[in-house]
């Protein structure tokens, strides 16, 4: 039985009805990992042994008739920038190749409390910088829908694992689109919650004011279930929001009557694939047919968002990554003196994209340039945020494509950072504004999945879930399973 193809909520039913055991399910997924990992390369570290132990504990609970959480015994994957006690957390960087955290991220603690099963730590772009996993310090992950294509990034391993049946669900992190874009490329549901909704404690920082952890799942229902477990205030994260977390499954309502949708014309950029554009328009028509209203809106500062992001995120990254200096943890290359050691260590173990962003960020913060770059970018960020505030005075959700194209071929943009950056053009403004957004499958272009992005105001994840669920229940896009072949 191909248990690995089911959703978490379907598998939960099978566990509680004792149709299958958690150990059987975990073994099924582990066997799938063994079968396809050579082709997909989702995982940096596999944790099969501890996964089986976790599954056994869940089976014991079921046997004793104890109630179990919706994710109990359901195998998942964690992006390798989420700290796991006793398990290597590398951020796909050679500089952290041997780093074993002595503590768990808050989300990991929550997942442990919910008795989930963790299959492994998923590949990513080094320190979450990139959109294809080609910037991983170790290897590139392949898109299960076409092994020649990238899975997107930076949470490419997390998305590929779910798409390939190597995990039922996963967590990624999203700084400029790193959950939504790979979810779109891999035909999955990926949500970036409101900034502060999920604790960042234990998420290795790329750009602290933009980073947010979120789920990648096969359908919207699973997304709601994962959110129920990972959201909430954390005293260890000063930026986490201290408001009650609703039961997101209550928002799984197949009804968009009266929903006001805004379609910002600025998001339909030049270079957008015409089939992507067609799929988005079709989705809007469908939602309108289901009772939603739609209007075109303008978000005039959108065009500056990308530039602002590539100053702000690198500026924060340049200080966040300063600690990888060979002194107290991580690898070291000896030098003639301490400065020489710093230089040699960082030159040797950071990849090209990480170095590029550290340089950019250092420059943007330097005396004499800070006003022109960093502070100007902060002002743009405020304007972008105001665009959203204004838009949400008139609409409930904003709908855009998640990315201008479907997954591109491995190597296609590897030497053109600007082309790579443009893949994030639709997702970045959301991080700058701190608002929540979800990407859901909305069709195929040349047999590759297309992602639809739905954006809502802060803490309106329930609106996202209702809209996404309604669209999903009236379509079949989420039901297809990746072929693990090559698209003709």
- Specify the residue, 342 or 477, whose C-beta has the smaller distance to another protein: 342
The answer to the question of residue 205 lying near another protein (CB under 8 A) is yes
Burial status of residue 265 (CB atoms within 10 A of its CB: 0-12, 13-18, 19 or more): exposed
C-alpha 36/C-alpha 485 separation (Å) is: 11
Residue 315 as a binder of another protein (CB under 8 A): the answer is yes
**Using CB under 8 A, which of the segments 3-11, 264-272, 312-320, 408-416 binds another protein?**
312-320
Which range in 37-45, 129-137, 178-186, 324-332 contacts another protein by CB under 8 A?
Answer: 324-332
Size of the site for another protein (CB under 8 A): 44
- Check if 93 is active-site: no
Q: Measured at the alpha carbon of residue 158, what is the angle toward residues 152 and 164, in degrees to the nearest 5?
A: 90
Strand order in the sheet with 260-264: 43-46, 117-122, 75-79, 169-174, 212-217, 189-192, 437-445, 448-456, 397-401, 260-264, 293-297
Residue 268 or 329 with smaller CB distance to another protein: 329
Give the burial string for 178-203 (b: 16+ CB within 10 Å, else e): bbbbbbbbbbbbbbbbbbbbbbbbbb
Residue 147, CA distances (Å) to 164, 201, 445, 448, 485 in order = 11, 34, 16, 11, 6
Among 14, 61, 79, 110, the active-site one is 79
For residue 479, state whether it binds another protein (rule: CB under 8 A): no
Establish if 359 lies at the interface with another protein (CB under 8 A). Answer: no
Binder to another protein among 10, 249, 370, 386 (CB under 8 A)? 370
Min CB(40)–another protein separation in Å: 26
The smaller minimum CB distance to another protein, of residues 240 and 402, is found at 240
Q: Which is nearer to another protein, 96 or 119 (CB)?
A: 96
Q: Which of residues 327, 352, 372, 446 is near another protein by CB under 8 A?
A: 327
Binding of another protein at residue 123 (CB under 8 A)? no
Pick the closest to residue 330 from 85, 87, 93 (CA basis).
93
Q: Does 113 bind another protein (CB under 8 A)?
A: no
Is residue 178 annotated as part of the catalytic site, yes or no? Answer: yes
What is the per-residue burial (b if ≥16 Cβ within 10 Å, else e) of 433-460? Answer: bbbbbbbbbbbbbeebbbbbbbbbbbbb
Q: Which is nearer to another protein, 124 or 223 (CB)?
A: 124
As a 3-state breakdown, the chain gives helix, strand, coil percent values, each rounded to 5, of 45, 15, 40
- Active centre residues (catalytic): 79, 154, 178
Summarize as ranges the residues that interact with another protein (CB under 8 A).
81-83, 89, 91, 96, 99, 101-103, 105, 200-205, 207-209, 235-239, 315-316, 318-319, 322-323, 325, 327-329, 338-339, 342, 362, 365-367, 370, 374
């Amino acid at each position: 039985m191909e248990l690995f193809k089911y959703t978490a909520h379907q598998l939960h039913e099978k566990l509680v009805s004792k149709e299958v055991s958690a150990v059987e399910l975990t073994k099924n997924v582990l066997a799938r990992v063994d079968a396809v990992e050579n082709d997909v390369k989702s995982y940096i570290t596999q944790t099969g042994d501890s996964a089986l132990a976790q599954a056994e504990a869940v089976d014991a609970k079921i046997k004793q008739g104890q109630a179990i959480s919706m994710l109990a015994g359901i195998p998942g994957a964690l992006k390798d920038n989420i700290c796991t006690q006793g398990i290597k957390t590398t951020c796909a960087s050679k500089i952290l190749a041997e780093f074993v955290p002595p503590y768990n991220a808050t989300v990991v603690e929550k997942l442990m409390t919910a008795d989930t099963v963790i299959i492994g730590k998923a590949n990513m772009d080094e320190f979450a910088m990139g959109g294809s996993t080609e910037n991983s310090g170790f290897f590139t992950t392949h898109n299960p829908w076409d092994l020649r294509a990238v899975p997107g990034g930076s949470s490419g391993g997390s998305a590929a694992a779910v798409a390939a049946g190597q995990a039922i669900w996963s967590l990624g992190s999203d700084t400029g689109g790193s959950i939504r874009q790979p979810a779109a490329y891999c035909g999955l549901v990926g949500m970036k919650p409101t900034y502060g909704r999920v604790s960042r404690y234990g998420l290795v920082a790329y750009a602290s004011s933009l980073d947010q952890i979120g789920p990648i799942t096969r359908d919207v229902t699973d997304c709601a279930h994962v959110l129920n477990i990972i959201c909430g205030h954390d005293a260890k994260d000063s930026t986490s929001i201290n408001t009650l977390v609703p039961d997101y499954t209550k928002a799984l309502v197949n009804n968009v009557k009266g929903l006001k949708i805004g379609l910002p014309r600025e998001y339909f950029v030049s270079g957008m694939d015409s089939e992507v554009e067609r799929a988005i328009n079709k989705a809007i028509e469908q939602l309108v047919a289901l009772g939603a209203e739609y209007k075109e809106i303008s978000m005039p500062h959108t065009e500056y968002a990308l530039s602002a992001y590539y100053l702000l995120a690198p500026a924060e990254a340049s200080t966040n990554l300063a600690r990888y200096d060979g002194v107290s943890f991580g690898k070291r290359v000896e030098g003639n003196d301490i400065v020489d050691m710093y230089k040699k260590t960082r030159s040797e173990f950071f990849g090209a994209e990480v170095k590029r962003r550290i340089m950019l960020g250092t420059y943007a913060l330097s005396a004499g340039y800070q006003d022109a770059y960093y502070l100007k970018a902060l002002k743009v960020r405020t304007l972008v945020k105001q665009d959203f505030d204004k838009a949400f005075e008139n609409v409930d959700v904003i709908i855009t494509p998640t990315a201008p194209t479907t997954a591109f071929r491995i190597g296609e943009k590897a030497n053109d950072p600007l082309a790579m950056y443009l893949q994030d053009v639709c997702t970045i403004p959301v991080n700058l504004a701190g608002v929540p957004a979800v990407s859901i499958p909305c069709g195929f272009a040349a047999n590759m999945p297309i992602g639809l992005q739905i954006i809502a105001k802060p803490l309106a994840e329930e609106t996202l879930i209702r809209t996404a669920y309604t669209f999903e229940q009236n379509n079949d896009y989420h039901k297809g399973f990746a072929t693990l072949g090559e698209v003709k």
